[in-house]
Structure 1
Amino acid sequence: MMDLFANRVVPTTKVELPFPNGIELYIRREDLLHPEVSGNKFRKLKYNMAAAWTNGHHQVLTFGGAYSNHIAATAAAGRILGISTIGVIRGEEIASCYQDNPTLKKAAADGMRFKFVTRTDYRAKDSTVFLTKLKAEFGDFYLVPEGGTNLEAVRGTAEILQEEDEKYDYVCCAVGTGGTLAGLINGAAAHQHVLGFPALKGNFLQAEIAKYTKKKNWQLETAYHFGGYAKYNADLLQFIRHFERDTGILLDPIYTGKLLFGIFDLIAQDRFKKNSKILAIHTGGLQGWNEKIK
């Protein structure tokens, strides 16, 4: 069952661009972990799917929006592992046209069943009342939170960093729900500083991340959300295109594009110490390019 999540080695690519002050930038290609269950979603689902299997759950239920990388990855993992999946999708208006949405169309092809709910109901998704109604409708299930972040996810994302990565001074990652960053914080060496680049507005992430770590070797860089989740502008898209042209590495405009844009800007501001080595985590999410952004 766990062959899907067997240890995999992914390359780390040095960005061969002329950075000032002797700075070196490297990209950990987590996006290459698996063609369908890639990046941080692979890491987050590893121990969640194992827990579902071990505890005798035959179906996994989770939450997400219409273009959710987490929904896509969960559906694919369920198909591969033979575990039924249920996606509670934000926005009841999508129900009649979800086949026009490539993410949901693929998830459905992978066997995921959907429940479309209003945005008001979706905000109550963690309540006992809401979850009780879901169990009455679908029967028993293993629950994976929105974005996949829980203790099992943080355990998985901590495995991104290995002993040989202690040569890096900074570890940088895009932040959605905070689970990947929490894992990186826990997995980082004592001398390393971990920087998170939130893809959405709001001050709640600090507290969310602190739920999963007691370490203090981290901070959030909150100036690079470009207006909020799934928001972007011409400058960001141009940066992504130029980065691909110069490095051969494709980023997405929801997470990793904002991450690298922020790193480049901080380098220009001399925010990193001289001769430092920076490791940026490419968390995948490239299925987003198959949607409305191009």
Structure 2
Amino acid sequence: MRLNVPSPLVELASDRIARQHLRLYLKRDDLIHPDLPGNKWRKLKYNLRAAREEGHSTLLTFGGAYSNHIRATAAAGRLFGFATIGVIRGERHLPLNDSLAFAAAQGMRLVYLDRSTYRRKSEPDVIIELHRRFGDFYLLPEGGSNAAAVRGCAELPTEIDQAFDVICCACGTGGTLAGIAAGLRPRQRALGFSALKGGQFLRHEVERLQSETYGTTKGDWAIAYDFHFGGFARRTAVLDEFISEFTDGHGITLDRVYVAKMMYGIFTLAERGEFDKGTRIIAVITG
């Protein structure tokens, strides 16, 4: 299997950015692999290695009905020879949506948990019952964020040979930001953009994941909470217009759940003067 790693880094030609005397580069992690784009591959890389080394033949993970992590885990199972089980929040609905249909086509077994049980998915009694039903498996958390994922994401800044000051990523579970921040060099900082309304809990999650991985917190990082557009997977006419204009201007269609909100946030902060003149910004395009 061929992976496009290191992923390409390209400068974005934008009058809106140039007027603020900034430079903006796109880290095209969406081009790593068609079925394992961006942070999905980085989060899975060391988890797949650990599953193999521990002798597991099955991966089990959690997600909502439109989860990109479910899709990626299903694809990784097919590509690397693991059986996969996706535990989906809520009731089964037929026909399957595109995300779940893709996962099923990769060979993933889809099972469903009612929402009250799903909220307790990390508690021992729920995990024990899943083992009783499905036997041995390697457990991946929802979103794929754990210590192994953090180590994978920490490799991203080390791939960048262009000098930069700030690196930006979208935040859903905090794993990507935790890793990127840990991989920074001195005088570099990371800025995450929460895709969730009420995402202030992400600060604790980033700290927890870094401590779990390294025994301490690392890097200079912060999270912007004001660009969620109403909540996870929510959209507005303003966001849709931004996506359309970005596609027309740069030939890249932004993922509306995560990446578009981050890019909108970068442009907005730039025009507010939040970045010093001359700042070199990296935006991670996770797909």
TM interval, short-chain normalised:
over 0.9
Q: Provide the C-alpha distance between the structure 2 equivalents of 1:264 and 1:96, rounded to a whole number of angstroms.
A: 38
Aligned positions of 1:143-292 closer than 5 A: 143-162=139-158, 164-165=160-161, 167-202=163-198, 203-213=200-210, 214-284=217-287
3-state secondary structure, aligned to 2:56: coil
Instruction: Give the equivalent residue in structure 1 for 2:102.
Output: 106
Q: Provide the C-alpha distance between the structure 2 equivalents of 1:107 and 1:163, rounded to a whole number of angstroms.
A: 30
Q: Provide the C-alpha distance between the structure 1 equivalents of 2:149 and 2:188, rounded to a whole number of angstroms.
A: 21
Deviation, 1:215, is 2.3
CA-to-partner distance for each residue in 1:160-202, whole Å, 9 max, x for gaps?
1126446111000000000000010001111111100000022
Whichever residue aligns with residue 129 of structure 1, its letter is: D
CA-to-partner distance for each residue in 1:100-122, whole Å, 9 max, x for gaps?
30110110010100111111111
3-state secondary structure, aligned to 2:7: coil
Q: Provide the C-alpha distance between the structure 1 equivalents of 2:48 and 2:207, rounded to a whole number of angstroms.
A: 24
Instruction: Give the equivalent residue in structure 2 for 1:42.
Output: 41
Instruction: Give the equivalent residue in structure 2 for 1:13.
Output: 10
TM-score normalised according to structure 1 size: 0.92
* Kept in 2: contact 1:166–1:192 (CA 8 A): no
Whichever residue aligns with residue 245 of structure 2, its letter is: H
Deviation, 1:81, is 0.9
Whichever residue aligns with residue 26 of structure 1, its letter is: Y
* Kept in 1: contact 2:4–2:33 (CA 8 A): no
* Kept in 2: contact 1:166–1:189 (CA 8 A): no
Superposition CA RMSD, Å: 1.3
Deviation, 1:21, is 3.3
Instruction: Give the equivalent residue in structure 1 for 2:22.
Output: 23
Instruction: Give the equivalent residue in structure 2 for 1:288.
Output: none
Whichever residue aligns with residue 47 of structure 1, its letter is: Y
Tell me how many residue pairs correspond in the alignment: 278
Deviation, 1:263, is 0.3
Q: Provide the C-alpha distance between the structure 2 equivalents of 1:216 and 1:32, rounded to a whole number of angstroms.
A: 26
CA-to-partner distance for each residue in 1:63-105, whole Å, 9 max, x for gaps?
000110000000001011110000000011xx241x4301101
* Kept in 1: contact 2:171–2:177 (CA 8 A): yes
* Kept in 1: contact 2:9–2:160 (CA 8 A): no
Aligned positions of 1:113-152 closer than 5 A: 113-152=109-148
Whichever residue aligns with residue 212 of structure 1, its letter is: L
Identical-residue share of aligned pairs (%) = 48
Whichever residue aligns with residue 131 of structure 1, its letter is: I
Q: Provide the C-alpha distance between the structure 1 equivalents of 2:111 and 2:209, rounded to a whole number of angstroms.
A: 29
